[in-house]
Structure 1
């Protein structure tokens, strides 16, 4: 037997057939003019609902297949009358209530008050009485209609810290009228006085509770609290909501804690009279740091004299007012910026910028820019690497001294860019598939050929499309941000104000250029994978 067993969603095709209770038995009368085809499952459901006994399944199947008008399928029995009925459904999250009004079959219609009371027994909040009235008065049978909506909780706002000092601590040296660089007045220290307010903790808010359609309270999620942590020379008052300095000194934020460091000063040189220096604050040295010693500080290091073949390490900035003569032993490592008069025969590394008037025969690496200004502005010998830009007045020498300048791309950033790009392409592909399905379902809907099941599926597909669109927009924003950063790095530049001598090697990204003839003022950039010489900026 070839018969359709699929159930046409929740819609009961009662108009396609009806049962007749006669003296010799129960008959099924099929309406062959009905718009929709008969489903066996609908007939069986109606038989069960009417409690018809001893029915002949084969007779029913033949009647449907042969489209017979009038077929006896059960012995004589009394008809059970079915009243108008109300089905109430509540969504799994209890945020939506639905009503399905079922038509009577020989039974009575319910009264409006009875209809409302049945609904109110299960649904306590958010009822749309106008919608209920519309359903009842227009007899919107066999349609699952939303008639109540709960209230979602509103999350509280997160707490935050209000700072009363500059936690960034960014500065650049000024170039004086005579062309020299002022390394004496950088103003990089956050000086505070005893009793000064340093930070306040602004508490999180509680938010607003929600309520389900069944009347249950949904607690709101309180905003995340943030703690105000303090370290040396700082105290908390007002039940932990305010931080104050206990001593004069320099305030910094280290590893999430507010700390006031007292400055450690050395009146002369770092040599045999002092030994090595290791301090958890700022170090100020009025003399020189002699070969063989080291100075380590948790914050800035200021040296008025010269650094010889010594090791200087700082979690902040390093300032050497006279210069660095490393004798191939000197090494400076900074998690901030490095400012100095000159660098010679040394290894230098800074997370941020490196500023000098001359760099000679050294290995210099910057996580941002290298700027060689002042009267000389010279880079000669060795290798200088910067993430973004290298700027100088003169590079190399008439003797053809081998000098390497390199600016490049952040590999981790490039990897992140590729990852996001692949996600975007995947989402676009999924959106194309969804759009095709939506277009197909829309065409079916116009011809009234879209079943309830497919209509529900269409709604889910549209919701999924909205989610993907939001994800796509978020990823595009991330990609745009990364592209800007990569653009800056891809457009890494070498800027030379006066001249570049033969013997200099320029590396920008993956491209290399050897300078074979003297170049005047210029800016070297990577254009389409090739290093180009452009006017000096």
Structure 2
């Protein structure tokens, strides 16, 4: 009879038996009796039964659906690798699967420390594995029952073709490689060759194998190449039971080139001049760079071109091209090869220009907007052309000819070592102009100008101090009144002849000096006065000494004097020597100035007035003076027999 307390059901096609409700007051004997009554003879799970019964009693609660018998095989699958290997079954199947998972993670993580028991290497199109399960097994009732596993051996496949035949599945490789199980329990084949991220190195994976060792040899040695690795080396590597890599192919990395370089040897940066006090004069900012002939301006180093690489698959690895820095040699710049480098050399002295990747040299400096804070003070050894005014407060130093197409304002310093042309005028009491060559000016007003060559003034000279080492010509353009001349006030002096359109004004004394340089004469007078002072000092010291400096009497006095007086006398002697030396140098300067202060040919000097002379004029020829108090026209002033004489132009 069946127990009224227990209900046993046969489930899953007779492969399992369960108690629907296990109460706390059920005993083992009652369970045995129930199993016997239900003819359950196979797969009784006594351990599970006792554990479940203990739980029911412990918690004083019935337990539902307790499995009391189970004939389902724990490892239903049998695996056959190839044709000759022994089948894998039972618990060894799980070991086999775990090992394939370990290989996957070792390869994924590139972990060469993970223990690997044995890998499988298969070739493409190879039937490498067959797994099966029993179609019929004994049920819990001791009868034959049909069987189908509740889950597949694998969750899926990659690069593997399946061929099913009832309870058997054959696996055929679609590519060559190592067999692994991924994190999704999918069976897949991975490439035996691992390529680095930059594709410059290819490694062949080596691991202990339980299947496909010969295929590995063939793949490595015949297809991939192995370098110096022998088959015996490979065999020894497989004994280590860990993943290893063998470098089988190496690409060529790309080579990044080097950019070209332009090394300027001349500093073209605009920099202010800082004085000792840390102050900056913005007028001294030089915005123009002068270079001398033969100067190396720049050095050009050509680029080293990039070289593309080749990866392990034979594909070109592109590399960024190096762009060459362009620099052209313009006017007055030559190029000279110096090994791999190119030198840019100035073929003429001038102003350096760098624009649009080209360097050139201008033999003259052209200032289209004049001289101002935009240009700063100008200093150039060659010709200079200025298209606008030279503004107040600036200096211009020119080593060649200077052309100013406008005017020179007040408080300007001009030094010209060539010829000077000023299309308009020169202004200002603080303006000083020094010219080593000839000068041609439209007019001069309230200025100071010295010219070593000839001076030509188109219109007038008013209230200025002018000296010319050669001749002076003032044409007087625009002077129409007889009440005023083209030279008024100030002083006009020349070592040569002076020719004036007109001269003088009732409003100011006008002085004309011919045959001498007033400035030099003034210095000469100062030196003569200083020389007289020195001579008096020498006489005074010699009087105190009582004898000439090198006389026997002086030597005797020094020898007989006490030490204290001897010391005082020596001091007087030293002072005398210094005074004599200074006087000698002063006399040398006096003689040198005498040669340039006066004309060497005074008899041929003349001052010519071509139109009219207005009184209040002082004429000075060769240090002789004549004041003209009466108006006269067309007259020459000449130096005859030590006097200044007047002669009409008609008597020339």
Would the TM-score normalized by the shorter structure come out above 0.5?
no
Q: Which has the larger radius of gyration?
A: 2
- Greater relative CO, 1 or 2 (CA 8 Å, sep 6+): 1
Q: What TM-score results when the alignment is normalised by the length of structure 1?
A: 0.37
